[in-house]
Amino acid sequence: MTICEILPNIYYVGVNDRLTRFFEGIWFIPNGISYNAYLIIDEKVTLVEGGAKAGFERELYNNISMVTSPEKIDYIVVNHSEPDHSGTLPFLLRIASNAKIVSSTMAKNILMNLYNIPADRFVTVKDGDIIELGEHKLRFFNTPGVHWPDTIMTYEERNKILFSGDAFGSYGTLDGGLFDDEVDIKFYLEEAKRYYSNIVGAYAYAVLNALKKLSGLEIRIIAPSHGPIWRREPSKIVSLYEKLSKYEAEDKVLIIYGSMYGFTRELAEYIAKKLVEEGVRVELHNAVNEHPSYALSKAWDSKIIIFGVPTYENIAFPPIYYIAYLLTIKKLKNRYYAIFGSSGWAGGGYKQIQKMLDQLGWEMVEPVIEIRGAVKKRDLEKVNELVKNIKRKLI
């Protein structure tokens, strides 16, 4: 249970999910996630963010009860309709029988489909609309695509709080500390990057549009729907989002490899060694040992990504194929890539990776290095050539 009066009459009433292992059924969250929700006590009692994922009804109810009777809720603001926030809505609507959901028209349609909620339980808002709660006023911004197309953000004018929904969010439960000045910020920034690359990254253009729209707004606090509340340095998370959405990378090389019997790994290590000797920053990542969500996060801040891919039954080694596929659906742009791998006989599996990355618009750094079995002396000449070409791209 985590309740906190974050400002007079504005309370954090969210919950921590320490049970789910894969967010959205895909993304590994060994440190869990928080579903943040905020309660504003005024003439109109308002819950911002729909609530939490289904299953957290009791805890959410109890948290709200510590502040006021949940039956008294007048408005439930749904910044976007994804069930990690809206799953408790059917329960809340039964308890707060007069409450209206405040959302975009698109979110209304999605929520009606998801939960059979009648149309008269909604108040829809457009860009710039204001709802008066009493002493507090909420202004709404259309920010489609951050994360779902129905997304709005909610701005509380009196205290200048931006309830930003998924934007500026992070994986990781809130273990007592709620604010950026109370938690290990390095951990949450790293997890915010992984969250961005997994969840929001495909909509980078939408993030940039939202940042532009909000740029004239005085924001003292960013209260997202996941992870810490940013009150000491909201600019920190905004800068991170800006950098990630512009596909800005560091001058470093990420080597992602998979290896069945060690031959591709040995080549990966050789390439890494040569790059380091040439003064290049390198990160070596075994695709099989870590969940692909980490590879996406690492790729997001690497200028060059080298794929080490054995041929497996005439195709690319599936764990590497999966990572390349995820990078294409997350639409990571402006990267260079190189490929190496090994095969026992026919080879050529790497071509599947090459095709995907070419379609993504990445530029290949040559040569492709494909070895038969163990690394031979003649292969090393190609490695030297690749390292030389990679260095040129980093200058």
- Nearest approach in angstroms of CB 32 to ligand FEO is 13
- Nearest approach in angstroms of CB 127 to ligand FEO is 20
- Nearest approach in angstroms of CB 381 to ligand FEO is 49
Q: Which C-beta is closer to ligand FEO: that of 50 or that of 258?
A: 50
- Which amino acid is it at 115? Y
The CA-to-CA distance between both ends of the chain, in Å, stands at 51
Q: Which of 362, 193, 114, 388 is nearest to 271 (CA)?
A: 388
- Nearest approach in angstroms of CB 265 to ligand FEO is 37
Q: Which C-beta is closer to ligand FEO: that of 228 or that of 349?
A: 228
- Nearest approach in angstroms of CB 55 to ligand FEO is 15
- Nearest approach in angstroms of CB 151 to ligand FEO is 8
- Which amino acid is it at 177? G
- Nearest approach in angstroms of CB 180 to ligand FEO is 19
Q: Which two tokens stand for residue 249?
A: 């990378």
The total of other beta-carbon atoms located within 10 Å of residue 286's CB is 16
Q: Which C-beta is closer to ligand FEO: that of 225 or that of 311?
A: 225
Binding site for ligand FEO (CB under 6 A): 80, 82, 84-85, 147-148, 166, 225-226
Q: Which C-beta is closer to ligand FEO: that of 78 or that of 390?
A: 78
Provide the strand spans (E) within 14-72. Answer: 15-17, 22-23, 27-28, 33-35, 38-40, 45-48
Contacts of 271 (CB under 8 A, 6+ apart): 255, 306, 308, 340, 383, 386, 387
> d(Cα 33, Cα 183) in Å, to the nearest integer?
14
3-class secondary-structure state, position 383: helix
Q: Which C-beta is closer to ligand FEO: that of 256 or that of 326?
A: 326
Q: Which C-beta is closer to ligand FEO: that of 98 or that of 113?
A: 113
Q: Which of 127, 223, 174, 134 is nearest to 2 (CA)?
A: 174
Contacts of 276 (CB under 8 A, 6+ apart): 282
Q: Which C-beta is closer to ligand FEO: that of 85 or that of 265?
A: 85
Q: Which C-beta is closer to ligand FEO: that of 46 or that of 151?
A: 151
- Nearest approach in angstroms of CB 362 to ligand FEO is 27
> d(Cα 113, Cα 242) in Å, to the nearest integer?
34
Residue nearest to ligand FEO (CB): 82
Main-chain dihedrals φ then ψ at residue 8, nearest 5 degrees: -50, 125
> d(Cα 254, Cα 305) in Å, to the nearest integer?
5
DSSP string over 227-247: S-BBSS-HHHHHHHHHHHHTT
Ramachandran region, residue 251 (left: φ > 0; alpha: ψ -120 to 50; beta: rest): beta
